Amino acid sequence: MNRVSKTVVFLFFTFTNVATILDNPCFAQEKLRIDTETVAVQKSPWKEIQPSTESNLHGLHVANKNIIWACGEDGTTLRSNNGGDSWKVSKVKDPAYPDGPLLVDIHGLDDATALAISAESPAKIYRTTNGGLRWKTILEYPGDNIFFRSLSFWDQRRGIVMGNAVDGKMLLLRTSDGGVTWKRLKSDHRPPMNAGETGLVSNGSNMESKGAQMLVVGLGGAGTGSRDSSRVLVSTDFCNSWISGSVPVRRSENGGIYSVHFTTEKDGVVIGGDKNNPEANERVYAVTSNGGNTWGVPSPAYPPSGFRSCVAQFVDGKEIKLVAVGPSGTDLSTDLGNKWRKVSDKGFRVVSFAPESKTGFAAGDNGRLARWVPDAVKTKSVAVQKIKQSAK
């Protein structure tokens, strides 16, 4: 099909569908580029929110349909207790960091209690019990060049923090009282790290707790040069023992696995890539169906459409769907991460959904926040399919 024909197809789609889009004011329009010559006008799956902060946001936790916590640079934290209709912005005040610490992950236990970790040295864990009005330093880990990477909880009391290597083994701290006290795991229970391996700094989603005792950690980094594969470490017995799976995701100084997610204790997906090459989508994802023992890429591969820093699931009726975000856009998978398709050019750093729900939010640089609009995805999916079929 020549350029003129493609233009006719695009204009036909635009004029016959824009009225439907505008009928519902909840949906903003978005232009999604399909290829170098084809653009689709569609309902956007993201509804932008304007919080009163311009700090880059890293961490996000949608605890339930009402309670959402976020955190980022300059010690910035945000909280909503009404499903994102309004937000309260506060700061973690720490004399060691006059401008505020870099907060990379956050977990809300309820609308008043939350924990956040910093990617600073010394590494610190902060806790609030009054909705973020005041934050207390719960733990300061001794030593130089120790950085926390991710934070996760199995339940309201048992949680874990992951850091970079200490004495050649992953740093893991665990709590059993809701984050009031923390203890480092014994050396025998901390998995060895390969040279150059680390948890990549982004949003804390490179580690996930699952069920009652499962923990999954995705790694990246390679010092200098690059490697053709990364590793995922899995424990199914509360960190007493570990299995290591080789994953066909290329790792480099700033590349590797950025995010892990298991829909069940057997079915999982990892995504990532190199943040310095956000458009590249080769060797940026892999899936497992045996609990992380082996990983592979489906053939033919339908990868995310670029570097992606976070993946999360939402539940639509009886279906589990996955959303992956990165600086160049948003992708959706309806088959547990095997096939991906781009649904938005809007990029974010982190995405999170309430458990067993379609309620989700994304956050990114300059204080950007957005609410997931699941009904828009269905409309957009049909529209893109029509354009692709017409453009053949």
The confidence score (pLDDT) of residue 38 equals 65
The confidence score (pLDDT) of residue 41 equals 74
The confidence score (pLDDT) of residue 36 equals 65
Contacts of 116 (CB under 8 A, 6+ apart): 59, 71, 77, 92, 103, 105, 106, 107, 125, 126, 127, 135, 151
Residue 32 lies in a domain: yes
Convert the pLDDT of each residue in 37-61 to its tens digit.
Answer: 667 777 899 999 987 899 999 999 9
Q: Which domain holds residue 12?
A: 1-45+373-392
Angle between helices 374-390 and 3-23 (to 10 degrees): 160
How many angstroms separate the CA atoms of 133 and 276, rounded?
Answer: 36
How many angstroms separate the CA atoms of 30 and 24, rounded?
Answer: 14
Residue 11 lies in a domain: yes
The confidence score (pLDDT) of residue 378 equals 66
Residue 104 lies in a domain: no
Torsion of CA 21, 386, 339, 198, to 10 degrees: -50
pTM of this prediction?
Answer: 0.88
The token pair at 181 is: 């006290």
Task: Cis check for the bond before 122: say yes or no (omega within 30 of 0).
Answer: yes
Residue 277 lies in a domain: no
Below-70 pLDDT ranges, the chain = 1-27, 34-38, 378-392
Residue 13 lies in a domain: yes
Counting the structural domains of the chain, the total is 1
Residue 232 lies in a domain: no
How many angstroms separate the CA atoms of 75 and 195, rounded?
Answer: 31
* Tokens 């948890």, residue located: 199
Residue 41 lies in a domain: yes
The confidence score (pLDDT) of residue 8 equals 36
